Homo-oligomer: A and B are copies of this chain.
Amino acid sequence: MSKIVIVGGVAGGATAAARLRRLSEKYQIIMFERGEYISFANCGLPYYIGEVITDRNKLLVQTVEGMAKRFRIDVRNLSEVTAIHRDRKTVTVKNIRTGEEYEETYDKLILSPGAKPMIPPIPGIHEANALFTLRNLSDTDKIKAYIDRKKPKSAVVIGGGFIGVEVAENLVKRGVNVTLVEMANQVLAPIDYEMASIVHAHMQENGINLILEDGVKAFEDNGRRIILNSGRTLETDMIILAIGVQPESQLAKNAGLELGVRGTIKVNEYLQTSDPNIYAIGDAIEVKNYIHGFATFVPLAWPANRQGRLVADHIHGIDVKYNGTLGTAIVKIFGLTVAATGNNEKTLKQLGIPYEVVHVHPMSHASYYPNATQMTLKLIFDKETGQIYGAQAVGKDGVDKRIDVIATAIKGGLTVRDLPDLELAYAPPFSSAKDPVNMAGYVASNILDGMVETVQWHEIDEIIANGGTLIDVRTPKEAARGTIHGAINIPLDELRERLAELPKDKTIYVTCQVGLRGYLATRILRDNGFRAKNLDGGYKLYSSVFGTKH
């Protein structure tokens, strides 16, 4: 009979425990959790603060008693594992209630300790009274109690990652005036800048005071005043620090286990650490990027759950592997959904991998059926092979579906050329006869096939500044509402008659609203002997970065 000890009783740990029991009644399973609760819904915490979720019990997906009973697991909460003794295969456990310490043996040890909020050594941080981080229920209770009792008028959220953005929205829901400070030039690192621009506007429309490219230099007056790097000062009633998380790998490190990027625990494809009797899973580990294979850190719930299942199988002797993490992620921000899968442009640039990009703006469902909304869907791919590198989408509706479909296509090894062939469910309330994913596939395939050449939103201004010719093929009415500075308006339906106005000796750049008419125009131009390039994503994308009217 094997004795399996698990460190951490939430997403990864509890899943591993449950699966182990399903695999065999014979395992002795001990699950240690430092906190009071196991199996809680970390991801729901911001919404409990915002009173979107009102019943606190709902956050407890399983309880110590429930788990113990159902899965016959020795669940020990308020028990911290403080050391691993690999030589004698034991762990030291500290009972937090009593302070007592003891050793527990293991045959196999699973580490699922998660990741903890980063707390940088900013002057004044320890003196700040109402400064919170958010990881678990006890943090949540503190934040909620503070809001309930102190009724803060203002809050500063530091960090524009998923958690920062979710907390910001939920504080707004509680009537708090929120300022969000982010060091980078955008929130939500998994998406690229032009996509984030849409999010920035939406957050501001919803009352968030967004400060980008600025960081915190110091906290003053017990955290009531924040001094930013720019010199700017913010007065606030409370602070949420959400600049990111770091793997809880101290225990592993002290035990001499090999570490990976950003302090993660290194594991092989079987999720074994450098000691084959010790496995590690979840937020604490280094994973392989599914597409490009580099080592990375992806603290998300899907990988933790998936790895929890796999680790149990591997211990049970089943031949399974973890194949890496795509990094599919999603967040709701007020009325907007933002989602991404695979790698973004920033990452590919860092890796020096060449890529091609398309942006489309399809409707969430048939435009003639009520409540259709336009989304921005970005596809990143290899121009030679069509391999899908990543996708990002922002919109009010149907964004999750399209990113999930593309994430599935990636796992199926499909290329952009296969996307038009995806036979997706169509009726007017759900999609169009050509689904947004089909459409993105068409647009990308046209680039591969040489049907069209494109330029990007960040290239066009310089092209015009250097004397490039840009025609805006929308209607005069549309162009009057805002166009790119320097564009000449020739409506698409007049283009064939007005070709004589255009130069044959230089490239003609074309723009429209979303890129579709621009594409049609470049086809007409090229078939008539002109050189033409289409502005990918059109004025809609351009203006979501640069604003309307230039």
Tell me the A residues contacting B by CB distance below 8 Å.
11, 21-22, 24-26, 41, 43-44, 47, 52-53, 55, 58-59, 61, 69-70, 72, 162, 166, 290, 300-306, 309, 318, 323, 325-332, 337, 339, 341, 366-370, 400-401, 403-405, 407-409, 411-414, 418, 420-431, 433-435, 438, 442, 449, 451, 492-493, 496, 519-520, 523-524, 527-528
Contacts and interface: CB of A to CB of B under 8 A. Distances in A.
Contacts of A332: 427, 429-430
Given A330-B425, A430-B400, A524-B25, A420 B492 contact: no
A105 B194 CA distance: 51
B366 A427 contact: no
Contacts of A318: 449
Given A22-B519, A53-B368, A306-B423, 8 more contacts: A302-B424, A306-B420, A327-B423, A400-B430, A408-B414, A411-B412, A411-B418, A411-B422
A421 B492 contact: no
Contacts of A428: 41, 43-44, 47
A431 B22 CA distance: 24
5 contacts: A41-B368, A53-B369, A330-B427, A404-B435, A411-B422
A404 B301 CA distance: 22
A409 B407 contact: no
A404 to B, nearest CB: 5
A311 B293 CA distance: 39
A418 B321 CA distance: 12
Contacts of A72: 496
Contact of A404 (B11, B69, B300, B405): B405
A309 B433 CA distance: 12
A47 B369 contact: yes
A451 B22 contact: yes
Nearest to A45: B428
A301 to B, nearest CB: 4
Contact of A520 (B22, B166, B302, B306): B22
A426 B41 CA distance: 12
A301 B290 CA distance: 35
Nearest to A327: B423
A427 B300 CA distance: 10
A75 B71 CA distance: 69
A520 to B, nearest CB: 7
Contact of A405 (B339, B405, B520): B405
A301 B59 contact: no
B426 A304 contact: no
Q: Which 3 A-B residue pairings sit nearest by Cβ, starting from the closest?
A: A412-B412, A330-B425, A25-B527
A462 to B, nearest CB: 29
Contacts of A414: 408, 411-412
Q: Name the residue among A11, A21, A400, A519 with the largest chain B CB count within 10 angstroms.
A: A400
Given A433-B301, A493-B70, A422 B408 contact: yes
B304 A433 contact: yes
Contacts of A290: 423
A496 B300 CA distance: 35
A290 B496 CA distance: 42
A52 B407 contact: no
A467 to B, nearest CB: 28
B326 A423 contact: yes
A84 B423 CA distance: 32
Nearest to A162: B427
Nearest to A41: B368
Contacts of A424: 302, 328, 404, 407-408
A381 B73 CA distance: 34
Nearest to A18: B520
Contacts of A327: 423
Contacts of A404: 401, 404-405, 422, 424-425, 435
Nearest to A365: B400
Contact of A341 (B302, B331, B423): B423
Nearest to A71: B520
A412 B61 CA distance: 34
Contact of A425 (B25, B61, B341, B422): B341
B368 A44 contact: yes
Contact of A400 (B61, B303, B431): B431
Contact of A426 (B302, B401, B421): B302
Contacts of A493: 69-70
A158 B55 CA distance: 47
A302 B411 contact: no
A52 B370 contact: yes
Nearest to A524: B25
Given A44-B368, A493-B69, A527-B26, A423 B400 contact: no
